[in-house]
Structure 1
Amino acid sequence: MKPVFAKIPEDLKEVFAVRVTNLPYFSTEFHFHHECQLVYVVESEGKRIIGDSVETFTNDEVILLGSDIPHVWCNDSKYFDKDQQEKSAHSIAIFFDPEKLIELLSHFGSVKKLESLLKNAGRGISFQGKTKEKIKELITTLKEQENLSRLITLLKIFEVAIQTDEYHLLASSGYVNTYHAKDNDRMDKVFKYVFNNFTRDIQLEHIAELANMNKQSFCRYFKSRTQKTFIEFLNEIRIAHACKLIAEGENHIAGIAYNCGYNSLSNFNRFFKEIKGISPKAYSKQISLSAPGE
């Protein structure tokens, strides 16, 4: 899936614009743009790629993206079922020009903290805790406002964001966008195939065929674009899905391993620990202890 350069949205005027999405599913186009983007996912779930970060997403997340970081929110396959009427993809996104925003605010005082925030946003920022709740409330309010009231609310959002430590960065510290506009649709085919088939056995030879390349060339191509091997990427997708199943209350580890595409429990345990830093059982216990009311 190549990230397509995009100037979004077309109605972005002086500093910022708001876009509300309420559709059966999100677009699966992997893209990047100069404008920064603050996203509140009101309702939806699936897999999310931001830079080299691969995770599941669900309702209620708030993400800040810096300039030119490739990203996509891709819904689970059930969202594309024509008989499924209950699922929807609802989000509120704020797009803003970072240079214009900094220039505007520099007339009122120091912008060093804002510049630091936007630098971190180059890796993608996921807000947590009370900070997330405050930003969600402000984004929802801003959606209904106009003109000066909307600008004031935007400034309140940044005031909350620059003062908090309730967040984690998504892409790795060394991540660099190495995609090029000349890339064809190879990555698009690969990502979509993996999203739809990661619970099955996926052969590298078949993936290379999808990309119209031999296995060796594809391996070099994929790593040069994603900064990870295809096997690393596939395991990240599978382990992210395992974490989702555990968070939803599934506690039969062997069953989780099978449902994520692993035929060997030992391999599942090994990859889970490599990616998450703890075993599946320890992760399940950690989730249980942190659950409300526990």
Structure 2
Amino acid sequence: MNPDLELVHTRRDESFRAWVHDYPHTVAKWHFHPEYEIHVIRASSGKFFVGDFIGDFAPGNLVITGPNLPHNWISEIGERETVPSRDVVLQFSRDAIERMAAAFNELHPIVSLVDDAARGIQFPDAVGLAIAPMMMELAASHGCRRVELLMSIFDRLSSCNERTLLAGPAYDVNAHRYMQSTINQVLSYIQQNLPGTLREADVAELAGMSVSTFTRFFRRHTGCTFVQYLNRLRINEACELLMCSTLSVTDICYRVGFNNLSNFNRQFLSTKGMPPSKFRALHQLNEHVNEHINEHMIAA
């Protein structure tokens, strides 16, 4: 079975992504992405898969996966059972690591660490249990505190010599063959054409399916309808522009692919629990408070 492509969305004002999700979740499946990933399991037990490796996991399971290395964790739970905040995930690009190492020679051990992650690295559960609270705080932090926590996590991992390489040395990480799968071609097409007009019937035709077949196919792979997925991506892009640009709400509405301002406002409110203008105002308030705190610390 080919893994699905996960599109990792890093905010324009951030260098890496840190987040928490429950299980089951739409990304909790056999998947890959070009980014490195530090993945910690906080609850439940089951089987995990990295490349051609299959093993057992328990709370504290900590794995680093390299670019395009397929991976998945399957918890042993009841049919309708859920595991809140099971996974805490840190995702970053090779470029981000190399830029940090170029600026600070002290960070070169991190480059060696991620080089080994091409086959996947597992650390002792005790290390994962110790790092999990730092990862949780990182996922909720902003500004300089994120970088501070990131460095602490890398320091702990790079100084741990008890590591297990997971995928076999002959395992072939070939993202090109994965990208040939229909769902990955569909998701890539949606991402590339997000600002334009995207109709489910047109995408279904590109995938060589009837609309009804495509609807079932898309929900099975993403956990949501085509329109829900499209709106979610566009709202995420709108959030980035609200935080990182001076474009008006109206301009942002049309730039991300909505053709109706009232629909944009309605979808944004439904997704974020507030209108776009309030979202921007709260983000600006947060930035102002952080700047004030930093100025106070420098003055002290």
TM-score normalised by length of structure 1? 0.55
**CA contact under 8 A between 1:26 and 1:73: conserved in structure 2?**
no
Q: 1:95 aligns with which of 91, 94, 103?
A: 91
Among 140, 152, 155, the residue aligned to 2:151: 155
Deviation at 1:152, TM superposition (A): 0.8
How far residue 120 of structure 1 moved from its aligned partner, in angstroms, is 0.9
Which deviates the most, 27-36 or 61-70?
A: 27-36
Q: For 1:68 and 1:40, how far apart are their aligned partners in 2?
A: 18
Change over 3 Å in CA distance of 1:174–1:7 after alignment to 2:
same
CA distance in 1, matches of 2:157, 2:28: 28
Give the Å deviation of 1:109: 1.3
Greater relative CO (CA pairs within 8 A, separation 6+): 1
Q: Distance in 2 between matches of 1:50 and 1:12?
A: 29
Q: Whole-Å Cα distance in 2 between the matches of residues 51 and 71 of structure 1?
A: 6
Q: 1:105 aligns with which of 72, 93, 101?
A: 101
Q: Give the drift of 1:143.
A: 2.8
> Are residue 70 (structure 1) and residue 66 (structure 2) matched?
no
Separation (CA, whole Å) in 1 of partners of 2:140 and 2:91: 16
Query: 1:47: which partner in 2?
Result: 47
Q: Which residue identity is paired with 1:97?
A: S
TM-score (norm 2): 0.54
- Quick one: distance in 1 between partners of 2:60 and 2:129? 9
Query: Which residue pairs with 2:34 in the alignment?
Result: 34
Which secondary structure state, in structure 1, belongs to the residue aligned with residue 179 of structure 2?
Answer: coil
Report the Cα offset of residue 22 of structure 1: 2.2
Identity of aligned residues (%): 22
**Other-structure match for 1:164:** 160
Partner of 1:118: 114
Q: 1:2 to 1:158 in 2, by over 3 A?
A: same
Q: What secondary structure sits across from 2:34 in the alignment?
A: coil
Q: Residue type matched to 2:75 in 1? A: N
Tell me if 1:138 matches 2:143.
no
SS at match of 1:118: helix
Equivalent residues of 2:101, 2:111 under 8 A apart: no
More helix by share: 2
Pick closer, same or farther for the CA change 1:163–1:52 going to 2, 3 Å. same
Q: CA RMSD in A?
A: 2.5
CA displacement, residues 263-291 of structure 1 (integer Å, 9 cap, x when unaligned): xxxxxxxxxxxxxxxxxxxxxxxxxxxxx
Q: What residue is the counterpart of 1:231 in the other structure?
A: none
State how far apart, in whole Å, the 1-side matches of 2:12 and 2:46 are: 28
Aligned pairs (5 A) from 1:118-267 = 118-128=114-124, 131-178=127-174, 179-183=177-181
In the TM superposition, residue 75 of structure 1 has moved relative to its aligned partner by: 2.9
**Pair 89,55 (structure 1): closer, same or farther in 2 beyond 3 Å:** farther
Paired residue type of 2:105:
G
| Structure 1 runs not aligned, ≥5 long | 186-294
User: CA–CA distance in 2 between the matches of 1:158 and 1:96?
Assistant: 12
Q: What amino acid is aligned across from residue 57 of structure 2 in structure 1?
A: F
CA shift, 1:42, in A, is 0.7
Task: Work out the CA distance in 2 between the residues paired with 1:172 and 1:41.
Answer: 23
The answer as to whether partners of 1:41 and 1:91 remain within 8 angstroms in 2 is: yes
Amino acid at match of 2:139: K
Amino acid at match of 1:174: A
Q: In 2, are the aligned partners of 1:127 and 1:168 still within 8 Å (CA)?
A: yes
Aligned-partner residue type, residue 162 of structure 1: S
Task: Please tell me the residue identity of whatever aligns with 1:31.
Answer: H
Q: Residue 44 of structure 1 contacts residue 59 of structure 1 at CA under 8 Å; is this kept in 2?
A: yes
1:126 and 1:167 in contact (8 A); partners too:
yes
Alignment check: 8 A CA contact 1:26 1:74 kept: no
DSSP-derived class of the 2:86 partner: strand
Task: State how far apart, in whole Å, the 2-side matches of 1:106 and 1:20 are.
Answer: 30
Whole-Å Cα distance in 2 between the matches of residues 124 and 71 of structure 1? Answer: 9
Question: What residue identity is the alignment partner of 1:55?
Answer: G
Deviation of residue 9 (structure 1)? Answer: 3.1
